[in-house]
Structure 1
Amino acid sequence: MSARRSSGDGDFPYWLVAAVVAAVVIAVVIVGDDLYRQVFAVVSKGVWITIFVTVVAFALASALGLLLAVMGLSQSIVLRQTARFYVEIIRGVPILVLLFYIAFVGAPGFVHLWNWLTLPLQSAGLVEPLLVRDVSLLWRAIISLMIGYSAFISEVFRAGIMAVDEGQVEAAKALGLSRWQRFRLIVMPQALRTILPPLGNDFVALVKDSSLVSVLGVADLTQMGKVYASGSFRFFETYSVVAYIYLILTIGLSLALRGLERRLRKASRAQGNA
């Protein structure tokens, strides 16, 4: 039996058919039942906050993660050890604890530092003192997720970069390409094929972990459900709808990422045959 068949990649997606049928049935129930329709109308208002938090936090975490990966592969021992220190420390702290720390320790510390640095401008009446409440809870949550996920994403980037054949890098160097050109034209295009699946998994995981921002009162999908359930005591109906929406988001993203992976594999094979 081939590895592809044994892994299940070649099987007909019966699970997907079952999931689509279940999703359609639940959608019919939501549309046809007044209570479920009301619950859906309330909690779905938090979907856009969930998407915004996920997309922005992931984009920032990817940029920081790439920087950390490059630092980790640097010839400078200071940069390598700095990146390793960051990755190991951040990976050892639970996301929820990191969220509380950034929100209630990091934000006040930043406000204190900002007011100290801008003290001359404040004395001249050019700048108003910054208050802790002026720092948005939404952005505290985004920064927390960015910091937490950047440590994991940096390892994904590092593994992908290291998987690139060293001979191709040496050939590009012999052709006179600069370090930035080698990285942009040779290393990253090939590394992306390796890192896309784990990077996609991190993105899907971040969709789910974005629900943690509800502990700060950010009006995401989970928070909207929590508020509605605590006021109506309809916990079963509310959290069933919340779970349903999260499943639609995560399964939809997973299918889109698998489709992108297949297209990249086909493009890679086509280039190889050419």
Structure 2
Amino acid sequence: MSAATRSKNIPPEPDDLQQQVIASRNRVSFGNFVYNAPLWLFFLVAGWLFILISILTDPIYSNIFNVLSEGIPMTLRVAASAYFMALMIGLFVGLVRSNKPTRLAPTATFGARLRNFLRLMLYHILTLYVELMRGLPILIVLLLTTFVIIPEIRDKFLEPLLGYEIISRGGSPEPAIIALGLTYGAFISETFRAGIQSIEKGQMEAAKSLGMTYFQSMRLVILPQAIRRVLPPLGNDVIAMIKDSSLVSVLGVQDVTQIARTSSGASFRYLETYLTVAFIYLTMTIIGSFIVKWVESYLKNQQIAATVTGEKRSGFMFWFNRQGRGPGGGR
């Protein structure tokens, strides 16, 4: 047997074997890092830092940022006002559409039949509204609201009723807020409807068995649980509203995008201007995302703490115990 053959049959030393195991683990760890690490986040942060450093060190970027920052309050005003309006519309529409009226028994009174018919008509009208808003582009809704619906209401209803001419100025954010609120209200209503319908029917039946009305059951039992379940999609709508608020620039509203259009057209510095615009919107959406996640985490911790202490702060059992009818109620 040759020396080379004998050397192949000799088992490796313990130190050599340990080094081979460590090298193999390092290769596996590096491969897992390459395939599992959020590399997109690295590029995103790198691009954000590049623009931030340019704003802090380059006079051109600094001047552009100072000009565009004048539109940030308008952008936030439009987004916040439209989102609040959308929440109110979405909650009302979601409540109505979560419980479709059914046919009453032949022995029902005329008043009950009339109320049920009116509820049915309201249900179908709101369903039509939802389908229209979900099927139309936001830009079309903006243009229709600003140049068709609001002028028609003003000319044919408000001015004859008030007895004087209403002068509207261009670039007003109110039509844009109404249009965005109507559009997002339709989508948010579906979110609320799904959240309400996800609650077990037994909770509503138990609440009614205690003598609670439909609205009391919704306010005290169903809605607190439904809102907690739909918080993530509602948070996503906040971010989407901030981005879609840039569409109001087509109406001449002096938000960040509109100021960027006029500024870049005058200076011809399109690259620097729109990179700064992207930086501003990205910063606002990232801050909004952190706020939404903080709210979700806070409510989750509150729910866990309430569960540990034996007090559930939302839903049927919390109301039941608060009325003194549950365990430890004192009645």
Fold conserved (TM > 0.5)?
yes
Task: Give CA deviations for 1:60-114 in whole Å, capped at 9, x if unaligned.
Answer: 0110111111221343321221111110011111000110111111121011123
Shift of 1:158: 0.5
The alignment's TM-score, normalised by the length of structure 2, stands at 0.72
2:261 aligns to what?
226
Q: Which stretch of the first structure deviates more once superposed, 20-29 or 53-62?
A: 20-29
Residue 87 (structure 2) pairs with residue 62 (structure 1): yes
What's the RMSD between the two structures over aligned residues? 2.1
Structure 1 pair 225/116, CA: closer, same or farther in 2 (3 Å)? Answer: closer
Identity %: 39
User: Residue type of the partner of 2:52?
Assistant: A
Contact 1:157 1:195 in 2 (8 A): yes
Give the aligned length: 256
1:169 aligns to what?
204
Contact 1:72 1:79 in 2 (8 A): no
Contact 1:103 1:137 in 2 (8 A): no
Shift of 1:115: 4.6
What residue ranges of structure 1 are gaps of 5+ in the alignment?
1-10, 123-127
Higher fraction of helix: 1
Structure 1 pair 116/241, CA: closer, same or farther in 2 (3 Å)? Answer: closer
Alignment of 1:39-50 (within 5 A): 39-50=64-75
1:199 aligns to what?
234
Contact 1:173 1:182 in 2 (8 A): yes
Shift of 1:260: 1.9
Q: Which stretch of the first structure deviates more once superposed, 223-232 or 254-263?
A: 254-263
Distance 1:29 1:98 in 2: 37
Distance 1:239 1:24 in 2: 16
Task: Give CA deviations for 1:141-178 in whole Å, capped at 9, x if unaligned.
Answer: 11110111111010001001111121112112222222
Structure 1 pair 18/270, CA: closer, same or farther in 2 (3 Å)? Answer: farther
SS of structure 1 residue aligned to 2:186 = helix
1:113 aligns to what?
156
SS of structure 1 residue aligned to 2:166 = coil
Structure 1 pair 231/116, CA: closer, same or farther in 2 (3 Å)? Answer: closer
Contact 1:73 1:80 in 2 (8 A): no
Contact 2:97 2:123 in 1 (8 A): yes
Alignment of 1:1-274 (within 5 A): 19-20=44-45, 22-74=47-99, 75=101, 76-115=119-158, 117-118=160-161, 122=163, 128-131=164-167, 133-134=168-169, 137-273=172-308, 274=310
What residue ranges of structure 2 are gaps of 5+ in the alignment?
1-35, 102-118, 311-331
Contact 2:256 2:277 in 1 (8 A): yes
Contact 2:264 2:273 in 1 (8 A): yes
User: Residue type of the partner of 2:165?
Assistant: P
Contact 2:171 2:253 in 1 (8 A): no
Indicate the structure whose relative CO is greater, using CA pairs within 8 Å and at least 6 residues apart: 1
Task: Give CA deviations for 1:158-217 in whole Å, capped at 9, x if unaligned.
Answer: 001111121112112222222222111111110011111111111111100000000011
Contact 1:107 1:135 in 2 (8 A): no
SS of structure 1 residue aligned to 2:96 = helix
User: Residue type of the partner of 1:226?
Assistant: R
Structure 1 pair 136/222, CA: closer, same or farther in 2 (3 Å)? Answer: closer
SS of structure 2 residue aligned to 1:137 = coil
